[in-house]
Each structure stands twice: as structure tokens, then as C-alpha cells.
Amino acid sequence: MPTLDLINLRKQFGSVTNPVVAVNDLNINVADGEFLCILGPSGCGKSTALRMVAGFEEPSGGDVQIDQQSIINMPPNKRPTAMVFQKYTLWPHMKVYDNIAFGLKLRHLPKNQIDQEVQASLELVGLGRYGDRYPAQLSGGEQQRVAIARALVLKPKILLLDEPFSNLDALLRVRLREELRQIQRNLKITAVFVTHDQEEALSLADRIAVMSKGELQQLDKPATIYARPKTLFVADFIGAMNMLDGEVNGGVVKVGNQRLPSPAECVAAPAKIAIRPEDVIVTQTGEGAWHGRITQVSDLGHYRKVFVQSPDLGMLKLYLPKSIEINDGEMITFKPTRFLIFQGPLPPFEVKL
Amino acid sequence: MKIDPTPAYHQPTMFGYRISTRTLRREAFGIFALVALTLIIIGPMMTVFLWAFAERWRQPALLPTEWGLSYWYETLARNDITSAMPMSLGLALTVTALSAIICLPAAYAFARINFPGRQGLLLSFLAVNAFPRFGLYVTIAVVFFRLGLVGTLPGVILIQLVNTLLTMIWIPTSAFQNIDRALEEAALDVGAGRLRVFFQITLPQVFPALAAALLLTFVSTFYEAQGALIIGIPGIRTMAVLMYSYINNQIVVQYGAVISLMLWLPSLVLLSFAQKFLRGNTVSSGFGV
Ligand SMILES: Nc1ncnc2c1ncn2[C@@H]1O[C@H](COP(=O)(O)OP(=O)(O)OP(=O)(O)O)[C@@H](O)[C@H]1O
Ligand SMILES: [Mg+2]
């Protein structure tokens, strides 16, 4: 039952005088059979973290453990991990068969067993009859499937994937990631999947580790990440969010010209109020509600995306049901049903109305 | 749907094939280029070739007036020639092999490791070739003389090694640089050791470039005369050195012509071999598909 633990993992590039901290004090635990996504904007240290697990990058501090055993002193070719890269990394001078068989041959398996396992892994990724082709004769999507087969055929304890589908078009990306997830579920393999695409992470992961500037922001289930972001960064980065300035004072928080209830634990100080576009209802009364002018309405299937220019809140994005009749340029009155109050670096308070 | 009864195109034909005017123009240019190249490259070579088999060739005649192999017999009967040929071949092979052993690991390091002074060192190899060689050789000769290397095989090997550095470092370095590191990492990842990664992943991909560098090195060493002449005399006499002295000292053109023909032989063999090999290799590995 392979588990993976990153413990206070740290990586610093650059010189002593001008250090670049790519990964800072990262703690992530991956359970047996779990599919964990590392999500974050470009340059936040996702690849560096993954490469330290694979052994291509030496940590500046901390530990990496598989099944509670440190692997930090193992060279990459001895580690029980297998990686799928963002770039196409099939060896161009070898046929697909030989690409997949390479690792098996190193393990001195008998020829007929190698044949069987290569074939089985090719079937697994739906390329049963591609063994005789050279990588240059495959499409990008097919190449990445072969790369996945090449990693899976070695039955690694941990499968590492560094944005494996980001070079592919949107439709293929969605299809391949679903296929990958299915394979991972069937094989019950432990996997870490790096991506900068939140939709990808939200739809695939058992849990998501959100990173920013080398640091872990939050490690939770997708639904929790969406509903209860722990930091302002996560609130802003995941999904759409309206960020408003507020001021807490004695059980109420003043946002714009309205007062909303706030928990007693909030201190009297400025705060950031985060409201999801869908956590808003349109009302008739002016009590506790803001008003604004609709500047843009787009029809998105079962709901409408509406931009509202409010005199004291600025521009807001709302998702409203199609049952409500609204048009460009009209005035609208609305109030939140649920919001988060962020104060300093503490986790936010949730308020439901 | 309406079907257009007139044929889609009317084009001139050549040898039964339809040829558009554009193809025709391109074709004509190709033929012209070929002829020009032939005249420039093959012309002089042809002259040498004819001279080697000419017993007599007076000015106005377009071709030799008497043909024969007598100069071949005479040349091949000479001791200095029969010993110079194996000497030249052996020397070129040794220098190429040594150069590969020294330069290829260095080239790999240049491509993969970013050490201080890397750029300067790379440029210094160019410097050797950027200035007139002769002065350099004379200076080296003075040093070699003190070391007792003048007139010896190690001396000539050393001086010719210097000549090969540029080709054998620059070409492989850029070839190694073009190999994505991730390809090597992927091989490490599935369990291959560093050496295996180099020999089974990296090397096969730079092979065409390496073969070209080796070939150039071999051929240029085989023809190299200046260094071999200054450092090698009197003990070491290569074919190239002999050819120079024959051309300089003999009034009869044929000796020089015969020796140059003999000098072509190894390069022709190597080139045809290389061409076949390189083509096979690139096609089978799917490059450029
Ligand atoms: N070899 C290196 N030398 C110096 N700095 C590096 C090196 N590798 C990465 N970095 C820096 O470390 C930081 C994290 O890089 P990393 O590649 O891990 O980002 P990432 O999250 O994978 O981004 P992306 O989504 O663009 O791939 C970046 O600021 C990058 O410039
Ligand atoms: Mg990356």
C-alpha cells in the first residue's frame, strides 16, 4: 500500500546571495490509491516539487517518503516512481514497442513476458496495434498515451504526471484525463498529477493541493476547496469570486452601504468579503441589499452570467437562474445568501443568510 | 450536382508525365545548377584523373594523346610511397580516435554543464583556427624541438590533434545541446543508469552529427600537410607531405596526379559508406517525418 509523504520539503535555486526559493516548507501526504492534484499558477513550484519526488532535483531541505521510508538518497533510476512529462519524451530512435519495453529489459524479464506486458499496457491506453510505429508517426495525444503506458508498465508505486496533457487541444485533453482517471482507478495506483488548470484539478482529484509562490495554500477535497477556501489566494484562484472590501464592527460587517451580520469571533477591523457569483439572490426590497446596473448578460445554458456595475461596490459577477427576467442596462437589487469574511492570514468565517 | 465536362488541367507533358510550367522552370534551374557544380568541382578533379593515366598530353589536345599506367607502376614501386600510405592511414585513424576520446566527453560536458568560463573555453577552440596556422606551428615546433618531439610520431599526432579540436568539440556540443534533457530524464526514470542513458538514448540521436564530425576529422587529418611537414620531417612522411614535395620538385605532372588520386581513395570509400549509413539511420529513426 504505497503512500507518499512530502515533509517540510524545500528547494532553493540560484546563488547564496540571490536565492530563488521554488518550494518552501511543503507538507503533502498522499494516501494509498489516492489521485492527488497539485494545482497552482505558472512558476509556483509544482514541477520542482514533483521532480524532487522523481529524483531529478535534489531537495535543499526536508524529506520525501514512500511507505514511510525516506527515498531522498536514492538516485532517480532506483526510485519506485514513474513520471509522465509535459513535453513529449518518447525516444525518437525507438519504436513504440521498444520505448515501453526499455524499462522491462533493464529488469531482465524473459522475452515473452516483456512482449505480453508491453502489449497489455498498449491495450490499456487504447493503442494495441501501434507497437511497430516510431514516435514521429504518432499524434501528440497518442505519444502521451504511450508515455503513460511506458510509466504504467513498470508497475510503479507512485505515478507522477507533470501537466501531461497541456500540449493537447481542449477536447482531447478532457478525454485523455478521463481515460487516465479510469485506468488509475482500476489499477488502484497512487498518483500525483500536476496542473495549472483548476477545472482539470476540480474534476479529477480526490484531493487538491493548491500552491502559490512555493508554498502550500490548502490541501482538501475539491468541494471543500471550492466552498471553503482557506486563504484569499485560494478564494481568488479557484472558481469565480467577487472580492469586496468591508469593515467589521460589533457583530456586523459593513460592505458598501449595507450592513451584513458577522460572527462574534470577528475582530473589529477591515476585512475582505468573498462572494461566489451563484451565492446571490435578486430581491425586490431594498433592505440589506445592494443595487446596480446590469452591463452585460451572457446566456450559459442553464444559467445566466451577469455583470453588474454597483455604485458603491464596483463591478460584480453574478450567476442568476434563467427564470428571472433581466436585460442589459436595467437596474437590479440583489443580496448575498452566503459569503466568507477574510481577516489577515486566518481561515475565513463563513456566513449563511 | 453539376459535372464539369472539361478536363481540370491542360499541361505540357515530358516523358509522358504532366509537368506544369513552374516545375519545368524549377527543373531547368536544377539542371543548370548541376552542370555548374559539375564544372566547378568535377572539372579540376577530372583533369587530375586524366593526368594520372596520361603517358603524353600536349597543350592543344583535349584529351591525353597516349594513355597508360606506367606512372602508376613507377609511383607504386617507390619505397617512400608504399610506406607513406599506411603511415597516413594509421595516423589519421589514431588522431581521429584520440580526438574522439578526448573531445566527445568534453563536448557532452559543454552541452550539459554550465560551468564558469564555458563560453570562453568554447571560443578558444575557434581561436586556434581563426589565425594563420603556420606561425602557430613554428612556435610549437620550437617547443617540440626542446622536448625531442620533432620528427617523431607522437609529435605529429599532437600537432594534428590540435587541428581536430574545433570540429570535434563544436559539432558534437551543438548536437548534444539539441537533445532534450527530458529524454534522458525519462530514461533515468524507468531505471537506466547514467552510462546506459548516454549510450542508448543520447548517443543514437546525435549519431549522424557525430559521424559527420568523425568523418571530417579523419579526412582533414588525412590531407593535413603543414603541421605534419613542419613537425614530422625528416622522420615522418605522410602521403600529403609527399604529394607537396612531388608537386614542388618534379617537372612531370603525372607523379602528383597519381598520388592525389591515391589520396582520394580513403575519402571516397568513407563518404560512400557514410552516405549510405546516414541515410539509412535517419530514415529508420523517423527523423524529419
Ligand atoms: N533549474 C532552475 N534554476 C533556477 N530556477 C529555477 C530552476 N527550475 C525552476 N526554477 C524556478 O523555480 C520556480 C518554480 O518553477 P517550476 O518549474 O517548479 O514552476 P511550475 O509551477 O512547474 O510552473 P509551470 O506551470 O509554468 O510549469 C520558478 O520561479 C522557476 O523560475
Ligand atoms: Mg511546470
Q: Measuring CA to CA, how many Å separate A72 from each of A4, A59, A129, A193, B193?
A: 12, 8, 39, 20, 17
- What's the average model confidence in pLDDT over B82-88? 87
Count the neighbouring beta carbons within 10 Å of the beta carbon of residue A330: 11
First-to-final CA distance of chain B: 38
Q: Cis omega before residue B234 (within 30°)?
A: yes
* Phi–psi pair at A109, nearest 5 degrees: -80, 155
Rounding to the nearest 10 degrees, give the CA dihedral for residues B262, B264, B267, B271: -130
Please report residues of B whose CB lies closer than 8 A to that of A75.
188
Local confidence band at B52 (pLDDT 50, 70, 90 cut-offs): confident
Query: Alpha-carbon distance B179 to B175, whole Å?
Result: 7
B79-286 belongs to which homologous superfamily?
MetI-like (1.10.3720.10)
pLDDT at A286 over 90: no
Task: State the DSSP string of A66-133.
Answer: ETTEE-TTS-GGGSSEEEE-SS----TTS-HHHHHHHHHHHTT--HHHHHHHHHHHHHHTT-TT-TTS
Q: Which residues have any ligand 1 atom within 6 Å of their CB? A: A 13-14, 20, 22, 40, 42-48, 196
Q: Measuring CA to CA, how many Å separate B141 from each of B163, B233, B259?
A: 15, 11, 27
- What's the average model confidence in pLDDT over B191-216? 90
Instruction: Test A93 with B205 for CB contact under 8 angstroms.
Output: yes
8 A C-beta contact, residue A344 and residue A330: no
CA A64–ligand 1 middle distance (angstroms): 19
Instruction: Using a CB–CB cutoff of 8 Å, tell me whether A46 touches chain B.
Output: no
- Please list, in sequence order, all residues whose beta carbon lies within 8 angstroms of the beta carbon of residue A63, skipping any fewer than 6 positions away: A5, A6, A7, A8, A9, A70, A72
- What integer pLDDT is reported at residue B263 of this predicted model? 83
- What integer pLDDT is reported at residue B253 of this predicted model? 79
Which range is least confidently modeled, A31-45, A127-141, A298-312?
A: A298-312
Which candidate, A30, A20, A5, A3, places its Cα nearest to that of A60?
Answer: A20
DSSP state of A135: G
Ligand with smallest separation from the Cα of A43:
1
What are the grid coordinates assigned to A129, written together? 496495434
Which candidate, A161, A207, A212, A216, places its Cα nearest to that of A183?
Answer: A161
Q: What is the pLDDT of residues B129-151, one digit of tens each?
A: 777 878 888 888 899 889 988 88
- Please list, in sequence order, all residues whose beta carbon lies within 8 angstroms of the beta carbon of residue B149, skipping any fewer than 6 positions away: B155, B158, B231
Best B190, B195, B199 member to test A by mutation, with max A CBs in 10 Å, is B190
Q: Residue A106: what residue type?
A: L
The C-alpha angle B148, B152, B155, rounded to 5 degrees, equals 75
- Any bridge partners for residue A5, and if so which? A29, A65
- What's the average model confidence in pLDDT over A319-340? 88
pLDDT at A285 over 50: yes
Q: What is the pLDDT of residues A71-115, one digit of tens each?
A: 999 999 999 999 999 999 999 999 999 999 999 999 999 999 999
In our burial notation (b when 16+ CB lie closer than 10 A, e otherwise), range B121-156 reads: eeeebeeeeeeebeebbeebbeebeeeebbebeebb
Instruction: Test A85 with B186 for CB contact under 8 angstroms.
Output: yes
**Between these two residues, A212 and A329, which has the higher pLDDT value?**
A212
Query: Alpha-carbon distance A102 to A77, whole Å?
Result: 13
Look at residue A172 and give its three-state secondary structure: helix
Which range is least confidently modeled, A21-30, A140-149, B122-131?
A: B122-131
Ligand with smallest separation from the Cα of A85:
2
Look at residue A143 and give its three-state secondary structure: helix
Local confidence band at B74 (pLDDT 50, 70, 90 cut-offs): confident
8 A C-beta contact, residue A76 and residue B196: no
CA A14–ligand 2 middle distance (angstroms): 18
Instruction: Test B286 with A135 for CB contact under 8 angstroms.
Output: yes
Count the neighbouring beta carbons within 10 Å of the beta carbon of residue A61: 13
Strands A258-261 and A35-39, how do they pair? unpaired
pLDDT at B220 over 70: yes
Look at residue B98 and give its three-state secondary structure: helix
Nearest CA in chain B to A159: B189
Q: What is the pLDDT of residues B221-272, one digit of tens each?
A: 988 888 888 888 778 888 888 887 777 777 777 888 888 888 888 778 877 8
What are the grid coordinates assigned to B31, written together? 539542371
Q: What is the pLDDT of residues A222-238, one digit of tens each?
A: 999 999 999 999 999 99
Ranked by mean pLDDT, the top range of A338-347, B45-54, B73-82 is A338-347
Taking the CA of residue A203 and the nearest CA in chain B, the distance in Å comes to: 28
Which candidate, B202, B189, B175, places its Cα nearest to that of A94?
Answer: B202
Please report residues of A whose CB lies closer than 8 A to that of B183.
89, 91
The C-alpha angle A92, A96, A99, rounded to 5 degrees, equals 70
pLDDT at A189 over 50: yes
Instruction: Test A106 with B204 for CB contact under 8 angstroms.
Output: no
8 A C-beta contact, residue B10 and residue B19: no
In our burial notation (b when 16+ CB lie closer than 10 A, e otherwise), range B57-73 reads: beeeeeebeeeeeebee
**What proportion of chain B, given as a percentage, has pLDDT over 70?**
89
Instruction: Test A78 with B289 for CB contact under 8 angstroms.
Output: no
- Structural domains in chain A, sorted by start: 2-230 (3.40.50.300), 240-352 (2.40.50.140)
Total beta-carbon pairs less than 8 A apart between chain A and chain B:
73
Q: For the whole model, what pTM was predicted? A: 0.80
Query: Please, what is the average pLDDT of chain A?
Result: 92
Best B189, B206, B287 member to test A by mutation, with max A CBs in 10 Å, is B189
- Any bridge partners for residue A83, and if so which? A160
Instruction: Using a CB–CB cutoff of 8 Å, tell me whether A54 touches chain B.
Output: yes
Please report residues of B whose CB lies closer than 8 A to that of A56.
185, 188
Diameter over CA atoms, chain A: 79
ipTM: 0.86
Ligand 2 being an ion, which residues bring their Cβ within 5 A of it?
Answer: A 47
- What integer pLDDT is reported at residue B282 of this predicted model? 47
User: How far is C-alpha A196 from the chain's CA centre?
Assistant: 6
Which range is least confidently modeled, A198-207, B9-18, B209-218?
A: B9-18
Count the neighbouring beta carbons within 10 Å of the beta carbon of residue A57: 18
Taking the CA of residue B124 and the nearest CA in chain A, the distance in Å comes to: 27
Query: Alpha-carbon distance B48 to A250, whole Å?
Result: 106
Which candidate, A135, A129, A61, A62, places its Cα nearest to that of A96?
Answer: A135
Q: Measuring CA to CA, how many Å separate A248 from each of A227, A242, A258, A311, A328?
A: 22, 18, 12, 21, 34
Task: State the DSSP string of B48-84.
Answer: HHHHHTEEE--TT-SS-SEE-SHHHHHHHH-HHHHHH
- What residues does each domain of chain B span? 8-68, 79-286
- Please list, in sequence order, all residues whose beta carbon lies within 8 angstroms of the beta carbon of residue A298, skipping any fewer than 6 positions away: A304, A305, A306
Q: Count Cα atoms within 13 angstroms, Cβ side, for B274.
A: 18
pLDDT at B289 over 60: no
**What proportion of chain A, given as a percentage, has pLDDT over 70?**
99
- What's the average model confidence in pLDDT over B173-179? 92
User: How far is C-alpha B213 from the chain's CA centre?
Assistant: 8
Secondary structure tally for chain A: helices H, strands E: 8, 21
- What integer pLDDT is reported at residue A152 of this predicted model? 92
Instruction: Test A93 with B289 for CB contact under 8 angstroms.
Output: no
DSSP state of A315: E
